[in-house]
Amino acid sequence: MVDKDKRLHVRVTSEELRMLDEIAEREERTAADVVRRLIRQAHAEAFGSPKKARKK
């Protein structure tokens, strides 16, 4: 399991929140899970496969 220690605060419209909730319900996931998936998907489309971060 990956540590999720960072927070992201985003302001959205009522319509955007409704859409996010619908996606989450359809996928049987939380809204946060959907946001994380969409971030990874958009990043992969823009930059290709993500590279694993090296531990310091």
The per-residue pLDDT for range 36-46, each reduced to its tens digit, is 999 999 999 99
Average confidence (pLDDT) over 24-47: 96
pLDDT value at residue 54: 57
Higher pLDDT, 49 or 48: 48
pLDDT value at residue 43: 94
**Among 1, 2, 46, which residue's Cα sits nearest to residue 38?**
46
What is the value of pTM for the model shown? Answer: 0.80
